Chain A
Amino acid sequence: MTRSIIRVRNLHKRFGESHVLKGIDLDVEAGEKVCIMGPSGSGKSTLLRCLNFLEEPSDGMVFLDDRPVGFIENAHGKRRRDTEANINRMRARMGMVFQSFNLWTHMTAAANIVEAPIHVGGLSRQAAHEKALKLLKLVGLEDKKDAYPAKLSGGQQQRIAIARALAMDPEIMLFDEPTSALDPELVGEVLAVMSELARGGMTMIVVTHDMGFASAVADRIVFMDHGQIVEEAPPSTFFQQPKNDRTIQFLAKMKSRPF
């Protein structure tokens, strides 16, 4: 019996006039790998950023292990923003990897990795550095520990960013188009690290356009369009027998790309 580590209920997000998420319901089980696909502007990244409260949902709720993320509900169902300390604790339980890597530019690779464990997790400097070395080995970059991000390739930066996100021992990893900003020849090394992570049993939610990765690694593909989930299926079904018209159109476009 598996349990839902993430539950999303009727999630809405509005930015002024534009209604980006229109009632998302999603359950993710512990250990599950879910890939979110969909055309640009469909709300995939916003959904991901609502999961760890980088964006505050306009309506609806995200639950991490049955605890609401970012809000406290009183007896009358009225909600208010949770304390900053609680929000930070929730965030630390989820690792996040960004499209543009977002490594801290004034710190070396190793310093990027030990930052949160020391200053948020309360780990000793020595323990944190030992852990950083292990993670650097995992992503195959132990020789780059003293390099500044500006000296690393995009692929190397993203692997360091994955190591940084893993350093807080997250229960779930969120990936926001982790390979979209990479030169084609650098995509493979990042996907290899992610596949390795998946094999290790990590719960993963990955926003991606990479159909190869999605079909190889995902347990389930969630297809979004115009702020709604329009189709959910295992990769074999999703790619071979898509049901929704918009999914069919999207897949046709993706397959006709030059590479």
Chain B
Amino acid sequence: MPFSFSVIVEAWPTFQAGLITTAIFCCAASVLGLLLAVPIALAHFSRSWAARVPAAVLVEIVRDTPFLVQVFVIYFVLPVVGVPMSSTAAGILALTIHGAVYFSESMRGAILSVPKGQVDAARASGMSYPLTMRRIVFPQMMGYVLPPISNQLVGLIKDSAVLSIISVPELSMAFQNVLGTTFAAPEAFVAVAVLYWLLTSAVTLMMSRLERLTPTHRSAQEMTSLLAKADR
């Protein structure tokens, strides 16, 4: 059987709908996840155990269970205890929590990589904790936090395929539908792979643009150019 592009063209509306759904779910979960990750990361450094312990427990639970199981728990168990769940809500919630935990771990690592002396100097000059975070720690951690977060955003897009299991009409679901109606396996496989690749590489490209703006990247660039000059 020859490879037929016409199959992909004919099934395009299905693929397009799936692609858009995947993009919307991932965008929503990324934004919400990143917002949620900041307090989770900061909670680890709190003096109060009432902040530290819940954050640590959440991180452990999410890191130590498969994403598929988390999706099941949110979609099938929450309604039993009285929280109604649509597949859309469950999908976004699962992706958000999953993303938030991994983002928060990257942020925690990035905060730790800012030398303690930088914070000492800020506190010694009378800067409050929030001011120190906003003016000193956050700008310096950007260079450390963007590369791992870029990886995790790509991971998030790929993990979103799991949501087809609770009937979210996203890209993998679209792929299964096309497969079920056309039986054109090679064409559908290639199409879905290329579409995921386009999504993830768009994110990677965007993130590497962002990385170039961070101070660490700039100083690394300056170093390289200085070394290059010294060589000549």
C-beta contact mask, B144-167 vs A, less than 8 Å → 1, else 0? Answer: 000000000000000000000000
Complex Cα distance, B10 from A116, in Å, reads 63
Q: A106-B139, A148-B219 are in contact. Are A89 and B126 (CB under 8 A)?
A: yes
| CB within 8 Å of A: which B14-63 residues | none
Choose one: A84, A101, A120, A150; the contact of B125 (CB below 8 Å). A120
Complex Cα distance, B123 from A104, in Å, reads 12
- The interface residues of chain B, by DSSP majority, are classed as helix
Contact segment of A91-99, A123-131, A185-193, A250-258: A91-99
Contact segment of B73-81, B129-137, B185-193, B196-204: B129-137
- CB of B131 within 8 A of CB of A120, answer yes
Kindly report which residue of chain B lies nearest to residue A85, judged by CB atoms: B128
- CB of B120 within 8 A of CB of A105, answer no
- CB of A116 within 8 A of CB of B126, answer yes
Number of interface residues of B (CB under 8 A): 21
| CB within 8 Å of B: which A167-191 residues | 168
Contacts of B117 in A (CB 8 A): 98, 100-102
Kindly report which residue of chain B lies nearest to residue A49, judged by CB atoms: B120
Contacts of A95 in B (CB 8 A): 124-125
C-beta contact mask, A5-32 vs B, less than 8 Å → 1, else 0? Answer: 0000000000000000000000000000
Complex Cα distance, B222 from A88, in Å, reads 36
- CB of A105 within 8 A of CB of B123, answer no
- CB of A105 within 8 A of CB of B124, answer no
Q: A119-B135, A150-B219 are in contact. Are A105 and B125 (CB under 8 A)?
A: no
Kindly report which residue of chain A lies nearest to residue B119, judged by CB atoms: A102
User: Is B127 on the interface with A (CB-CB < 8 A)?
Assistant: yes
Choose one: A100, A105, A106, A120; the contact of B126 (CB below 8 Å). A120
Shortest Cβ gap from A82 to chain B (Å):
13
| CB within 8 Å of B: which A149-167 residues | 150, 161, 164-165
Q: How many A-B residue pairs have CB under 8 A?
A: 72
Shortest Cβ gap from B56 to chain A (Å):
21
Complex Cα distance, B125 from A161, in Å, reads 11
User: Is B215 on the interface with A (CB-CB < 8 A)?
Assistant: yes
User: Is A225 on the interface with B (CB-CB < 8 A)?
Assistant: no
Contacts of A121 in B (CB 8 A): 126
Kindly report which residue of chain B lies nearest to residue A117, judged by CB atoms: B125
Contacts of B126 in A (CB 8 A): 88-89, 91-92, 116, 120-121, 168
Complex Cα distance, B128 from A92, in Å, reads 11
Shortest Cβ gap from B144 to chain A (Å):
12
- CB of B128 within 8 A of CB of A84, answer yes
Shortest Cβ gap from B91 to chain A (Å):
38
- CB of B121 within 8 A of CB of A52, answer no
The 10 A-B residue pairs with the shortest CB-CB distance, nearest first, are A92-B126, A102-B117, A116-B125, A102-B121, A96-B124, A106-B215, A120-B126, A91-B126, A88-B126, A106-B139
Beyond known contacts A102-B120, A105-B140, A106-B139: 8 more, CB 8 A cutoff: A89-B126, A96-B121, A96-B124, A98-B117, A102-B117, A103-B121, A120-B125, A121-B126
Q: Can you identify 24 A-B contacts, CB atoms within 8 angstroms?
A: A54-B123, A54-B124, A88-B123, A88-B126, A89-B126, A95-B125, A96-B120, A102-B117, A102-B120, A102-B121, A103-B121, A104-B122, A104-B140, A105-B140, A105-B215, A115-B127, A116-B126, A120-B131, A121-B126, A150-B222, A164-B121, A165-B124, A168-B125, A168-B126
**What residues make up the interface of B, taking CB atoms closer than 8 Å to A?**
115, 117-118, 120-129, 131, 135-136, 139-140, 215, 219, 222
